[in-house]
Structure 1
Amino acid sequence: MKLLRHGPRANPKPGLLDADGQVRDLSALIGDITPATLSPASLAALASVDASTLPVVAQGELQVPWTGMTKFIAIGLNYADHAAESNMPIPKEPIVFTKTLECAVGCNHDVVLPQGSVKSDWEVELGVVIGTRARYVAEDDALAHVAGYCVINDVSEREYQLERGGTWDKGKGCDTFGPIGPWLVTADEVGDVQNLGMWLDVNGQRMQTGNTATMIFNVAQIVSYLSRFMTLNPGDVITTGTPPGVGMGRKPAPVFLKAGDVMRLGIDQLGEQQQTVHAWNPARIDS
């Protein structure tokens, strides 16, 4: 299933995308797409419903496809060629940092540069959505804790991340720096999550091309690893690293985002996003 939430940010409606690309309303079945919705039993119950019996509705503004996440965890330098372009060593263990919950926005929401930003950058990434609580899980069992997958743009302010004391979180958690969606695609529909093509364009120019097959640490390893250090709750999301082609690594000189730029990105089977970049304006964040 492709689950989504659409409409006003203050009161979105739950829906699913059917095989014909139509939005079907789930409001008669569930009030919202919450952590409880992501349990295996709840997903199975939704999957058993004949989508053709649900009302077709016009798609409103797409929001984050579920609500109720307690953590937005990220993995850094998880593609060897991205580590190389960043002039950093290939990690021996996953590099873990956090993005704030406030950075999570819908897939086509504006990206608003923080005040004084001069080195904001793009990163297409695979998102992993937890469906059942994970605590000290083995790699062989890790994928059973995953409800599904999504596209994430891990927008990053490189000066804040790398030049302001070495705390990555400062450059990763700015408001609007975590577009998610368009959908949460359930794991059964994705198949082999370690063979998904991914790409990102800026102003129509291809910047990133990659495949999840080249991850250093795969999804099962990441979920198992994180569960040793924290409890992963239903609705929590993990963004798993980016392939090469970020602005920081462009040659002969880095290229960073500026107001008016348009990012377009996608992952096989998981859909596409598009964001327009704006200078600091709190009204665009809160709208």
Structure 2
Amino acid sequence: MFDYAALTAISAVVREGSFERAAAVLGLTPSAVSQRVRGFEERLGSVLVIRGQPCRLTELGTMLCRHFDCVKVLESDLATRLAWQDKEAALPATVKIAVNADSITTWFAHAMMAFSRQEPAITLDISIDDEQCTAERLRSGDVMAAVTASSDPVPWCRTVSLGSMSYVACASPSLMATCFPKGVTAEALRNAPYLRFDRSDLFQAQWAETVYGVTLGAPACWIRSSRAFLDLCLYGLGWALHPLPLVEQYLKTGDLVEFSPGHRPSVPLFWSVPRLYGSALNRLSQNVQRVAADWLEAAG
């Protein structure tokens, strides 16, 4: 049933975005790639690739490419053990990972670098999502591993605690002078502009309710980028909660002012990865846990 030549073509088409770019990667003509994909679709009686700019997978195509990614990772592991190289392999094995934005901006990139030096033949495909949502990406099979805030084990995965990320509520000196001339009070906080990462980000509102008992108004800005989120806070557009490793230097230099040093919330983070995969994912897990131990607070 599994035509791996066709799956290689399908994976390349979606990975590269078009039949032409997939053909260049595979060393084939666009016509040959199209024939492989269309022939497999005809045998299955179902469309696998939605043609467009870029090309996308159907639900069945997603399931088949998910299987293909797993096979490629296992093959890469086996090839390493046998000291064998498939000179005809055009696509590297790909490990898909879901990571929250604050982790990728602070510590997770270091784990990626260490793993890539050990496994140069494996490509990491990183999806950025809220830490509350990454576990669902893992449960649905969209990714092979995830950094998540959920300790609930996915049945086929091993879940380990990484530690906790501490957050700091802060603002620029200019915003402090404008909106908090008498210090941070409930009334001042209620009327002050603040930032939200996206529609699912309730962190600032929950913190304000817990610490000051106030309900915030409309945010000054929605910005789905951890770096831009910090930059806009530094520029004085609004206040926000930021991961401590990201803003510690700015607090020391006075470029950011902390609202309430005694109220630093922390978010526990966990690493979930399939139990059955071999040495490559084991090395990835080791790097993730080692780097997290250097950056995060130890679990209580």
TM range (shorter): under 0.3
More helix by proportion, 1 or 2? 2
Higher RCO, 1 or 2 (CA under 8 Å, sep at least 6)? 1
Counting strand residues as a fraction of each chain, which structure ranks higher? Answer: 1
TM-score normalized with structure 2 length: 0.24
**Higher Rg:** 2
